[in-house]
């Protein structure tokens, strides 16, 4: 099959969070299954800096609310891309420098770009124009369009409205994966005309959402099929607690929604070969993990000590991630003999709060407020316990990286965390299937209790060893989930019931 995949970020070109890991790795895995992927991303400055010179490019005149815009579609596929693919991944960057040649991806200095609506409308519309126009040449016509999150949701709306006749003649199924309903792409209602869509779509049955223009809502309504990134989250988003106001819209389409849990790129994230970590190890040869821990302590200026548990956090610093719970239990936790390393970027209040702890406990706490891929790998490798007390978590990849690197996760039982971590109960010491620790209520007490049990098991070396190994042996690859996407594509192609509204 030929699959047009649209995403606002993708590894190895541009990443601000898990979305980029998913779009990059899923594309590769689908290619291994024999499919041809056309992966569209905006050509941000960051992409221009990392991508090879385009091998081909196509000028394209794109209609927009403010008149035609001349963009270029550049083929920046990596030649010799690290894959044993039978199919292939072509990466196509939508170039329009006034919108994308900027320092940030969505924002700068913590502030969203004020023209994000125009930026992502153009990205979607340019892709639609290119796909439809190239269809005349039949060279690149996809069998499926796969969208990710609000930044690409307008693509479904354009195809089914402005471009409806051509879409109908092509019968092009559209799948939208929801990575996080907390981010919907909402803009002031008076900006709606900037999408170039007819005003009759700005109603409560369309993209209007309490007076705002809501792009994700458009995707939820107009896509033929919806996926989200874990089975538990697919249920949660149908409730007011997790739906962020869109639960009603999602419930209406629940027969067209499936939870497909994310995997990880097990080649890129492999402690036996990872070029970013100081020593290699595997489930049968764990010695290297101890070296990674000592080197990490050295690199961060913490006392080098094998016996002291090293707790780790790699996370966006936002309320979603439950960092208030971490801050609430820290005074208590830091009375124990342990170390804590935090790598994250985001809300300044969290940075300041963690900084205070670092200043007060210089022998125990290190916080780094940068986006640093190398340090992230070293932390996953050098840590003993990974903390992820998210208030909600659609899937979560960091706990999967932790499993893969033998760092035992302590997670809140929500979304993908509930689906991917088998919690330890004392009786499991015999069966040995547990891979981490979990707690239910989003309270400091429940979290502290879970961390305390992790700390006490840490000192029972044989049980701990079992936990580490079970985690490392868990299949967290994309293999099974990519096949689930594949069967969703096939079912969509075969279905005659594409939702024509
Ligand atoms: P989310 O997408 O909600 O942020 P995920 O767990 O799915 O959460 O993915 C987060 C990804 O971003 C992981 O690959 C994690 O290692 C990475 N990450 C988060 N913060 C940083 C950081 N400061 N430096 C490097 N990598 C980070
Ligand atoms: C979102 C979610 C995260 C998920 C990621 C990739 O950023 O917050 O839970 O793992 O997308 O799907």
Over range 434-445, report the average pLDDT: 97
Given this model, what pLDDT does residue 122 score?
A: 98
Q: Whose CA is closest to atom 3 on ligand 2?
A: 396
d(CA 289, CA 407) in angstroms, rounded, equals 9
pLDDT at 80 over 60: no
Residue range 27-48: mean pLDDT, rounded: 96
Q: Separation of 393 CA from ligand 2 center, angstroms?
A: 7
Mutation to probe ligand 1, out of 276, 315, 421 (largest number of atoms < 8 A from CB): 315
Whether the CB-CB separation of 173 and 181 falls below 8 Å is answered with: no
Q: Whose CA is nearest to atom 14 of ligand 1?
A: 18
User: Which ligand lies nearest the alpha carbon of 177?
Assistant: 2
Residues above pLDDT 90, as percent of the chain? 90
Residues 74-98, mean pLDDT to the nearest whole number: 80
pLDDT attached to residue 68: 98
Residues with CB under 6 A from ligand 1: 17-19, 21, 314-316, 343-345, 371-373, 376, 395-398
Ligand closest in space to the Cα of 344: 1
Q: What ligand has the least distance to the C-alpha of 236?
A: 2
pLDDT for position 141: 87
pLDDT in tens, 363-404: 999 999 999 999 999 999 999 999 999 999 999 999 999 999
State residue 399's pLDDT score.
98
- Which ligand places an atom closest to the C-alpha of 416? 2
Q: What pLDDT does residue 75 have?
A: 94
Q: What pLDDT, in 10s, does the model give residues 171-191?
A: 899 999 999 999 999 999 999
Does 496 or 129 have the greater pLDDT score?
Answer: 129
Q: What is the helix (H) or strand (E) element at residue 47, kind and residue range?
A: helix 45-50
Residue 136 reports pLDDT greater than 80: no
> Can you tell me which atom of ligand 2 is nearest the CA of 177?
12
* Mean of pLDDT over the chain: 95
For residue range 461-500, list pLDDT tens digits in order: 999 999 999 999 999 999 999 999 999 999 999 885 665 5
The reported pLDDT for the residue numbered 140 is 77
Local confidence band at 5 (pLDDT 50, 70, 90 cut-offs):
very high
Which of 11, 19, 476 best tests ligand 2's pocket when mutated (most atoms within 8 Å of CB)?
Answer: 19
Residue 86 has pLDDT above 80, yes or no: no
Which pLDDT score, from 0 to 100, does residue 138 have? 66
Rounded to an integer, the average pLDDT of 31-58 is 94
* 164 Cα to the center of ligand 1, angstroms: 37
- Rounded Cα distance between 180 and 184, Å, is 8
**58 C-alpha to center of ligand 2: Å?**
32
| Closest residue to atom 1 of ligand 2, CA basis | 179
Which residue among 9, 17, 265 has the greatest number of ligand 1 atoms within 8 angstroms of its CB, and so is best to mutate?
A: 17
Burial bucket for residue 203 (CB in 10 Å: 0-12, 13-18, 19+): exposed
pLDDT one-digit tens code per residue, 331-369: 999 999 999 999 999 999 999 999 999 999 999 999 999
Least trusted range by pLDDT, from 67-76, 127-136, 244-253? 127-136
Average pLDDT, integer, range 435-441: 97
- For ligand 2, which residues put their CB under 6 angstroms from it? 17-19, 22, 179-180, 229, 262, 393-397, 416
CA dist 440 and 186 (Å) reads: 31
pLDDT, position 429: 64
User: What single string gives the DSSP state of each residue in 373-397?
Assistant: HHHHHHHHHH-SEEEE--S--SS-S
**Residue 256 scores a pLDDT above 60:** yes
CA pair distance 403, 467, nearest whole angstrom: 9
pLDDT tens, residue by residue, 215-247: 999 999 999 999 999 999 999 999 999 999 999
Nearest atom (ligand 2) to Cα of 182: 8
316 Cα to the center of ligand 1, angstroms = 6
How far is the centre of ligand 2, averaged over its atoms, from the C-alpha of 60 (Å)? 32
pLDDT > 80? residue 254: yes
Q: Which ligand is nearest to the CA of 383?
A: 1
Looking at residue 31, what is its pLDDT?
94
Cα of 396 to ligand 2 centre, how many Å?
A: 5
Sign of CA dihedral 427, 432, 437, 441: negative
- Confidence (pLDDT) at 135: 59
What value does the mean pLDDT take over residues 249-271?
97
Give the pLDDT of residue 91: 95
């Amino acid at each position: 099959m030929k699959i047009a995949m649209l995403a606002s970020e993708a590894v190895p070109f541009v990443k601000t969070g898990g979305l980029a890991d998913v779009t990059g790795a899923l594309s590769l895995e689908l290619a291994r299954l024999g499919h041809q992927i056309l992966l569209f991303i905006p050509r941000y400055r960051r992409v221009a800096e990392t991508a090879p010179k385009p091998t081909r490019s196509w000028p394209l005149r794109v209609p927009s609310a403010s008149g035609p815009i001349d963009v270029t579609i550049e083929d920046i596929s990596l030649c010799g891309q690290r894959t044993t693919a039978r199919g292939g991944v072509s990466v196509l960057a939508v170039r329009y420098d006034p919108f994308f040649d900027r320092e940030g991806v969505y924002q700068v200095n913590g502030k969203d770009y004020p023209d994000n609506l125009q930026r992502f409308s153009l990205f979607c519309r340019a892709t639609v124009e290119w796909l439809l126009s190239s269809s005349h040449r039949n060279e690149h016509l996809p069998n499926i369009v796969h969208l990710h999150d609000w930044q690409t949701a307008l693509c479904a709306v354009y195809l089914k409205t402005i471009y409806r006749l051509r879409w109908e003649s092509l019968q092009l199924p559209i799948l939208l994966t929801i990575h996080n309903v907390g981010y919907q792409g909402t803009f002031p209602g008076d900006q709606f005309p900037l999408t170039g869509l007819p005003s009759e779509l700005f109603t409560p049955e369309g993209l209007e959402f309490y007076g705002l223009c809501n792009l994700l809502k458009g995707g939820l309504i107009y896509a033929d099929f919806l996926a989200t990134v874990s089975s538990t989250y697919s249920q949660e988003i149908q409730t007011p607690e997790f739906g962020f106001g869109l639960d009603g819209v999602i419930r209406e389409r629940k027969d067209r929604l499936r939870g497909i849990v994310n995997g990880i790129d097990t080649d890129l994230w492999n402690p036996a070969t990872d070029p970013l970590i100081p020593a290699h190890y595997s489930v049968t040869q764990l010695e290297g993990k101890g070296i990674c821990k000592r080197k990490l302590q050295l690199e961060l200026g913490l006392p080098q000590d094998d016996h002291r548990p090293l707790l780790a956090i790699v996370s966006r610093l936002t309320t979603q991630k439950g960092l208030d719970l971490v801050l609430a239990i820290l005074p208590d936790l830091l009375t124990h003999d342990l170390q804590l390393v935090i790598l994250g970027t985001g809300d300044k209040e969290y940075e300041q709060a963690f900084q205070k702890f670092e200043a007060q406990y210089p022998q125990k706490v290190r916080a780094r407020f940068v986006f640093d891929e190398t340090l992230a790998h070293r932390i996953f490798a050098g840590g003993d316990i990974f903390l992820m007390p998210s208030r909600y978590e659609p899937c979560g990849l960091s706990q999967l990286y932790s499993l893969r690197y033998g760092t035992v996760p302590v997670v809140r039982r929500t979304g993908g965390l509930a689906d991917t971590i088998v919690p330890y109960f004392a009786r499991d010491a015999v069966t040995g299937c547990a891979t981490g620790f979990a707690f239910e209520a989003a309270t400091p007490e429940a979290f502290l209790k879970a961390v305390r049990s992790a700390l006490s098991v840490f000192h029972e070396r044989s049980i701990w060893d079992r936990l580490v190994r079970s985690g490392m042996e868990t299949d967290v690859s994309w293999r099974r989930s990519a096949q689930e996407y594949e069967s969703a594509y096939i079912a969509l192609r075969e279905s005659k019931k594409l939702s024509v509204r």
